[in-house]
Amino acid sequence: MTRETPKTAGPGASLGLLAATALVMGNMIGSGVFLLPASLAPFGWNGVLGWIVTISGALILAYVLSRLTRACPQAGGPAGFVTDAFGPTVGFFISWIYLVSIWTSVVAIAVAAISYLTNLFPVLASGENVPALAAITLLWLMALVNLRGTRAAGGFQILTLALKIVPLLVVIAITAVVLASGAARIAPPAPGSIGIGAVNGAASLTLWALLGFESASVAAARVRNPEINIARATLWGTALTGLLYLVVCSAIALLLPVDLAAHSAAPFATFVGRFWSTDAATLIAIFAVISCVGALNGWTLLEAEMVRDMAHRRLLPAWFAKTDRRGVARRALLISTVIASLFAAMNASRSMQSLFEYLLLLSTSATLWLYLACALSALKLGIARPAALLGAAYALWTLWGAGIGASGLSFVLMALGLPIWLLVRSRSAEQRVQPGLD
């Protein structure tokens, strides 16, 4: 099968450097930073080290992606790099598992948004299936925003990014005041409390919060001047987001009592309520919802773009590549939203925290296959080999840290794409024999 080479930026390219950076940071700053302090609190200082490891690994992988983008602009994104290096079969399976990771990510983000909304509207937590139904409703609202076009989605992303940074800056300011006044202190790590296993476990959780640094590369066809803007947006967005996360999440996890932080459905609001006021905590909850909605908007854009790109590369039926007059792949967007809704419905019986952590690890493991494949592609293509080697080692280490359950399930989900690939190959063979067949 021959792969059709895409343009570096199609006629629908409407994301400049600011919008591309907002897409990267907006997709990264979402549900992770607002719920992770609860999951990381039991890890103590191991969580801080986990952040440092994760940020370092993410920056290495972001650098590899930026170098691949500059060296292979015709590839059109991460899936194209893998296809160039290893052929269409490997390219399909890596693209497929990454698409699955996006579907699970949008559900996890929607669940996080509903978790914070329960602070404002307790009725959302009143029944077993109510949170899942609310999350599904939010998924479809974001689909409607994206149906208006890439420019509208990009503008919405810039607006929500500006708003979602507010609570992060508030936590940093409160932390500085609290530590300076002596109202609270951060205890040093106890002797023997630091362990490789704990750091690894924390790093697997923290990587979820940094997933998305590849967003600009995935949306390459929608970015203006992609050879320059994608690299800058990827590296700048990853570095700035990583620094914010390290400071903010560590402060919440280390300053709050472990039991309080670990059992909080909204740890940001809990932190602000304890060290400032409950009224301010309500505002933080509102900003947290805005943050999740902004991230959900960005990932909704990516899920449609990923399906469209795979169809354009003949890795999915061409039916999904069709776009409307606004450049929106309506079929890809609607089908993706249906599948994400099914993920939410199938796990409706889980508690919100349990559902979030389950989807977090599954989505992280699924995305790591893409990161590993991109690093190996750079090694094979002779691009940034020292960094690619470190990136591949980091991806393997984090797959192990996610656990056999999540990583094994992500591999099974990758294998489930086999019938689709066989169908696509069969269809392509028929078209080669009968060129007029659509």
Q: Domain segments of the chain: what residues?
A: 17-425
Percent of the chain surpassing pLDDT 70: 88
Question: According to the model, what pLDDT value does residue 5 have?
Answer: 36
The fold for domain 17-425 equals Amino acid/polyamine transporter I (1.20.1740)
The mean pLDDT of 211-216, rounded to a whole number, is 80
Question: According to the model, what pLDDT value does residue 438 have?
Answer: 46
Could you report the per-residue pLDDT of 396-431, keeping only the tens digit for each? 888 887 677 777 888 888 888 899 888 888 877 666
User: CA distances (Å), 293 to each of 35, 55, 208, 276, 366, in order?
Assistant: 14, 24, 17, 25, 22
Q: Residue 6: pLDDT above 50? A: no
Could you report the per-residue pLDDT of 333-380, keeping only the tens digit for each? 899 899 888 877 876 655 555 656 666 667 778 888 989 999 999 999
The mean pLDDT of 205-228, rounded to a whole number, is 78
The mean pLDDT of 171-182, rounded to a whole number, is 91
Question: According to the model, what pLDDT value does residue 60 have?
Answer: 94
Q: For residue 192, name the pLDDT band (cuts at 50, 70, 90).
A: confident
Q: For residue 119, name the pLDDT band (cuts at 50, 70, 90).
A: confident
Q: Which residue carries 């969580």 as its tokens? A: 47
Most confident of 48-57, 116-125, 147-156, 186-195: 48-57
Task: List the single range of 13-17, 112-116, 354-358 with lowest mean pLDDT.
Answer: 354-358
Q: For residue 176, name the pLDDT band (cuts at 50, 70, 90).
A: very high
Question: According to the model, what pLDDT value does residue 126 have?
Answer: 72
Q: Residue 383: pLDDT above 70? A: yes
The mean pLDDT of 70-97, rounded to a whole number, is 87
Q: Is the pTM of this model over 0.85?
A: no
